[in-house]
Amino acid sequence: MKLLVGLLIFTALWAKIVWPPPPEKARIEYVKSVERPEDLGIEKSLWEKIKDFIFGKKKQTRLLKPSGVYASDQMLVVADQGTRSVFIFDLEKKEIHIAGGFSSPIDIAVDTEGKIYVSDSVLGRVFVLSSEGKRIGTVGDRILTRPTGIALDKKRKVLYVVDTLQNKIFVFNLKGDKISEIKGNFNRPTYLSLDNEGNLYISDSLNAKVRILSPEGKELFSFGKRGTTIGTFANPRGIAVDKEGHIYVADSLLSAVQIFDRKGRLLLVVGRFGKREGEFAFPMDIFIKGKTIYVADSYNARIVILRYLGGD
């Protein structure tokens, strides 16, 4: 009996968290969560450890309320409303840089030169940072009111900025000059993302819809309706598109990530409300790099990392 109990505990500890659950074929698996630098193998330097020994240990560095996330092979960047800061995790040098002085940092984008763009919904502009977190410029001064989601088209070298209060999307070049603005039937849009063709995918939050626009701003398709059941939207926020064209929507009130096909048909629901592994509490943003999915799990104070396992 003791052996059986031991085997059951061992199996439970090592069982992977996947969606959909067995016996169906898994499409998404849980990888890990990031709450602090140590979760990425980033430890304090010898000098920092010496200072802690002499002057006393400082308050632990950790996320409090992440709202935006960006990832590459070189870095993981997180906008954190709780600390009013941007965390820049250097994955190559195993260092962390923290850029402070924000009021309400919301979303992150990074260009080909490694410059980091951060929207601040209270200060009403997009800040430009170096890869180490130094402020080097701003975008949208005296134009933006409540900037939230941002996305950067690296091919066209333009920055799209959602202004939630103005119900518009502003388009800037990377020098910070306004090129155009996109008006639609928006009602408090929040986050947006781009696919490989440069089409825009917008969470039109109070309309409870996803709107898909061409790079020029022409609406191509929309889907979604308000509700509290799977397949509907209660408060759609973060949005991302993978290489196969699947659309991922983080719904903060449903505390789940819903995955749709290009025609708006529901494919899979990932997560539920809670604080355990594989659960979410008010997820805000989602970012996809290859087959790796990053979710800003806001009220759980962490970035949840998932992996796409493929379809049929």
Instruction: State the Cα–Cα distance between residues 280 and 300, nearest whole angstrom.
Output: 7
Structure tokens at 62: 């950790």
Mean local confidence (pLDDT), 208-227: 96
Least confident of 13-22, 30-39, 217-226, 250-259: 13-22
Write the pLDDT tens digit of every residue in 143-156. Answer: 999 999 999 999 99
Section 252-263 average pLDDT: 96
Amino acid at 4: L
What is the structure's pLDDT at 130? 97
- Looking at per-residue pLDDT, the higher value among 9 and 242 belongs to 242
Non-local (6+) Cβ contacts of 55 within 8 A are none
Q: Residue 52: its pLDDT value, please? A: 59
Mean pLDDT rounded to a whole number for the chain? 91
The whole-number average pLDDT for the span 237-255 is: 97
Distance of CA 139 to the CA centre of its chain: 21
In angstroms, rounded to a whole number, what is the distance separating the alpha carbons of residues 27 and 92? 29
pLDDT at 7 over 60: no
Q: Is the model's pTM score more than 0.85?
A: yes
Rounded mean pLDDT of 202-221? 96
Q: Please check whether residue 246 is in contact with residue 269, taking contact to mean a CB–CB distance below 8 angstroms.
A: no
Q: What is the pLDDT of residue 184?
A: 86
Q: What is the DSSP code string of 126-158?
A: EEEE-TTS-EEEEE-TTT-SSEEEEEEETTTTE
**pLDDT of 310:** 84
Q: So what's the pLDDT on residue 44? A: 61
Q: Contact at 8 Å (CB) between 162 and 189? A: yes
Instruction: Say how far apart CA 109 and CA 207 lie, in whole Å.
Output: 25
Residue 311, Cβ density class (10 Å: 0-12 exposed, 13-18 middle, ≥19 buried) = exposed
Alpha-carbon distance of 145 to 133, in angstroms, equals 24
Q: What is the pLDDT of residues 77-101, one digit of tens each?
A: 999 999 999 999 999 999 999 999 9
Helices (H), the chain: 2-14, 46-55
* Residue 43: per-residue pLDDT: 81
The token pair at 173 is: 């070049």
% the chain with pLDDT above 70: 89
Give pLDDT tens digits for 15-68: 789 999 999 999 999 999 999 999 999 986 555 556 556 656 566 799 999 999
pLDDT at 68: 98
